[in-house]
Structure 1
Amino acid sequence: MQRTTIAFDDDLAAELDAYIAATGAASLSEAIRDLVRRGLSARASGPTQAHCFGVISCTVDQSVRNLAARVPQGRLDRHDQTVAALSIPLDHSTSIDVTVMRGRVADISSYAEGLFLERGVMHGALSLIPVAEDTSHHVHNQGAAHEHTHLRVKSGF
């Protein structure tokens, strides 16, 4: 771990203190690490071939022609990448849709960007979580040891 000294003006330090109180961060270092990770992931999505989980959220106007059919069809077209989907009705025509996908950064980002460009889709956001697959040989519960993969969340791309 590396140590860095940072100077903040009084207003920014007060905002940071408020952020720590609101989020329940255990320390100033933890809060800054969280903010830096978020800032870097928002700025650069990482290598396009890196493995990740993507959390895609947006509002969908269900009254826009065929959009209520196209959004789920887009997930079905990527059934091998779609892990979970949730649609929450807000009013008579609008829902919040949340989709969790697994795959490469380029594929997940491309799907999200295409979805956000659809007429009737608003407030789109994509959060990428970098992962690696590790292969290990061990026993779960009882029985013989066997080789399989585990996902490991990485701190960055």
Structure 2
Amino acid sequence: MERITISIDTALALEFDRLIAERGYKNRSEAVRDLVRSHLEAARMAQSPAGHCVANLSYVYNHHERDLAERLTALQHDQHDLTVATLHAHLDHDNCLESVILRGATSAVRAFSDAMMAERGVRHGLLNVVAVELDGAHTHAHEHLHPHPHAADESPHSHVHLKPKT
């Protein structure tokens, strides 16, 4: 680990200390590391939106909006290769919050997210993207630990690991 020293004025240091206390950091170093990572990731995504990512798309929508829930579900089915999982929560009698976990080519994830947030009735949309490196395809034999038609099999399963860029 490399040490660096920075100087900031007293008012800014006090404000920073309040922020790190509110967010539960144990020390300034942890908070600075997170800030640097966040800014580096934003710069990386702005400079090279090519490559792959994992992402979380969150949005609020009015479920009374005509056919909106069906349109959102259809968009997810149309991009089933990008959509990993969806969490749906009812906020009140009218509004729902959905959080969609995505993975794939960054350009495809952004295009899908833009289409979802552009649907009439979707509000408060936010996409959080994390660039990943594809860590080579490989095969594992998996023993099924749950009732499965082929439970006695150890069937090979090929997949790619997604390693977040640091």
Shared fold, TM over 0.5 = yes
Q: Is residue 135–residue 147 contact of structure 1 (8 Å, CA) maintained in 2?
A: no
SS of 1:87's partner is: strand
1:45 paired residue number: 45
**1:16 matched to 2:27:** no
1:126 paired residue number: 127
* 1:104-147 Cα shifts (integer Å, max 9, x gaps): 1111111112222222111111111121122387988999xx98
1:30 paired residue number: 30
Normalized against structure 1, the TM-score is what?
A: 0.81
Change (3 A) 1:137 1:126: closer
Change (3 A) 1:56 1:3: same
* 1:71-105 Cα shifts (integer Å, max 9, x gaps): 11111111111100011011112100100010111
1:60 paired residue number: 61
Of the structure 1 ranges 109-118 and 44-53, higher mean CA displacement relative to structure 2 is found in 44-53
Normalized against structure 2, the TM-score is what?
A: 0.77
1:151 paired residue number: 162
Letter in structure 1 aligned against 2:32: I
Give the whole-Å Cα distance in 1 for the aligned partners of 2:104 and 2:98: 19
Structure 1 runs of 4+ with >3 Å offset: 1-5, 39-44, 135-143, 146-149
Letter in structure 1 aligned against 2:5: T
SS of 2:45's partner is: coil
| CA RMSD across the alignment | 2.8
Give the whole-Å Cα distance in 1 for the aligned partners of 2:135 and 2:61: 37
1:102 paired residue number: 103
Change (3 A) 1:3 1:140: farther
SS of 1:45's partner is: helix
SS of 1:97's partner is: strand
Q: Which runs of 5+ in 1 are unaligned?
A: none
* 1:41-71 Cα shifts (integer Å, max 9, x gaps): 4466342221110100010111112111111
Q: Which runs of 5+ in 2 are unaligned?
A: 144-153
Q: Is residue 41–residue 131 contact of structure 2 (8 Å, CA) maintained in 1?
A: no
Of the structure 1 ranges 146-155 and 116-125, higher mean CA displacement relative to structure 2 is found in 146-155
Letter in structure 2 aligned against 1:151: L
